């Protein structure tokens, strides 16, 4: 595939940024990749791994002469970064982000984008519980969705170019309205993460189950909660604080469903439980059929090497 961008600047160097860098390298999608990260250790690691051609101490330095800038920082840090880079962006540059909340990012970033710069919010619906520059791998985005929430007045040519980049990674590109994105993600990602954190916290507080038993027998289901709950705490703190309304809405609905199941268990209503689990099982089958997971034994994860 031919180069789509001359110079890509990655602001932040975690799982998503490092995976993007590796995918860009593998597919030949840009002539040059530069970046910045908050810590000197991360900057050194990115250079050591060959993720970037050059690393800078500041975001302002990194975006100079870039025709694509990708904000790969926690949602809570977006505004400060946008303020810093705004005066240094080239006319015609595209700026995107990878945050899993979009309304808060739009409100934080858009006001600081100068005229002639295309800000196109984005969100790769992909990831692992790992973080940092060593966590990345080029195939992270294979057959995963990359959602864009273009704003009014977005240049269709710039949007198409950005879509070509992510489909070049192997992802599927789609568009959503900003607020609808945040509602959808509260259902499929944000609330499940909060439930996972809660379940792990509950296990930690039940003293009748020893710590050793929790670890030893975790393959019965608890293991997958812990995998999700191992995700970056800074990122998820910011997600819940910035997508508060949608998350609280879905949590309220979850609580109602939980009370319904609680009553069925108390009353011995086996028919209700069977019907409920049959419906939810069908959703799992739909996810597998859509190619977003595998029905292999052990979820297909036992044979996989950690990235």
Tell me which CATH homologous superfamily contains domain 5-176: NAD(P)-binding Rossmann-like Domain (3.40.50.720)
Contacting residues for 232 by C-beta, under 8 A, at least 6 apart: 14, 74, 131
Q: Where are the CATH 1.10.3660.10 domain residues in the chain?
A: 180-268
* Alpha-carbon gap, residue 37 to 114, rounded angstroms: 23
Please tell me the predicted confidence (pLDDT) of residue 179: 92
Locate 138 and state its tokens: 């080029």
Contacting residues for 184 by C-beta, under 8 A, at least 6 apart: 176
DSSP state letter for 221: T
Q: Is the separation of the CB atoms in 241 and 99 below 8 Å?
A: no
Q: Which fold has domain 180-268?
A: 6-phosphogluconate dehydrogenase C-terminal fold (1.10.3660)
Q: Is the separation of the CB atoms in 115 and 129 below 8 Å?
A: no
Please tell me the predicted confidence (pLDDT) of residue 204: 67
- Nearest-5° Cα angle at 117, 243 to 21: 70
Q: Where are the CATH 3.40.50.720 domain residues in the chain?
A: 5-176
Strand blocks (E) in the chain: 5-11, 30-36, 54-56, 68-71, 94-97, 118-119, 122-124, 145-148, 172-175
List per-residue pLDDT tens for the chain, 307 residues long: 678 999 999 999 999 999 999 999 999 999 999 999 999 999 999 999 999 999 999 999 999 999 999 999 999 999 999 999 999 999 999 999 999 899 999 999 999 999 999 999 999 988 777 788 999 999 999 999 999 999 999 999 999 999 999 999 999 999 999 999 998 888 877 777 788 777 777 776 665 666 666 666 666 567 677 777 777 787 778 888 888 888 888 888 888 988 998 999 999 999 988 988 888 777 777 766 766 665 655 544 544 444 4
Distance of CA 104 to the CA centre of its chain: 15
């Amino acid at each position: 595939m031919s180069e789509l961008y001359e110079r890509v600047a990655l602001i932040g160097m975690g799982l998503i940024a490092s995976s993007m860098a590796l995918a860009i390298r593998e597919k030949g999608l840009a002539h040059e990749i530069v970046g910045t990260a908050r810590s000197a250790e991360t900057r050194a690691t990115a250079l050591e791994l060959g993720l970037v051609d050059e690393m800078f101490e500041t975001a302002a330095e990194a975006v100079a002469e870039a025709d694509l800038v990708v904000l790969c920082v926690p949602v809570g840090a977006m505004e400060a970064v946008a303020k810093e880079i705004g005066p240094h962006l080239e006319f015609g540059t595209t700026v995107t982000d990878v945050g899993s909340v979009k309304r808060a990012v739009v409100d934080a970033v858009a006001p600081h984008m100068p005229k002639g710069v295309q800000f196109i919010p984005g969100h790769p619906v992909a990831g692992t519980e790992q973080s940092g520059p060593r966590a990345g791998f080029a195939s992270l985005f294979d057959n995963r969705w990359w959602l864009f929430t273009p704003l009014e007045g977005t240049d269709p040519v710039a949007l198409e170019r950005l879509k070509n980049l992510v489909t070049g990674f192997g992802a599927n590109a789609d568009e959503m309205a900003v607020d609808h994105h945040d509602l959808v993600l509260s259902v499929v990602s944000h609330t499940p993460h909060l439930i996972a954190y809660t379940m792990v916290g509950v296990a930690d507080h039940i003293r009748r189950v020893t710590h050793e038993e929790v670890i030893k027998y975790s393959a019965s289901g608890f293991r997958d909660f812990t995998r999700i709950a191992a995700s970056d705490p800074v990122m998820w703190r910011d997600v819940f604080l910035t997508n508060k309304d949608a998350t609280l809405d879905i949590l309220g609905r979850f609580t109602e469903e939980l009370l319904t199941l609680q009553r069925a268990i108390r009353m011995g209503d086996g028919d209700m439980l069977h019907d409920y689990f049959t419906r939810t099982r069908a959703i799992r089958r739909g996810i597998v059929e859509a190619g977003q997971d595998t029905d292999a034994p052990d979820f297909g994860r036992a044979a996989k090497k950690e990235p």
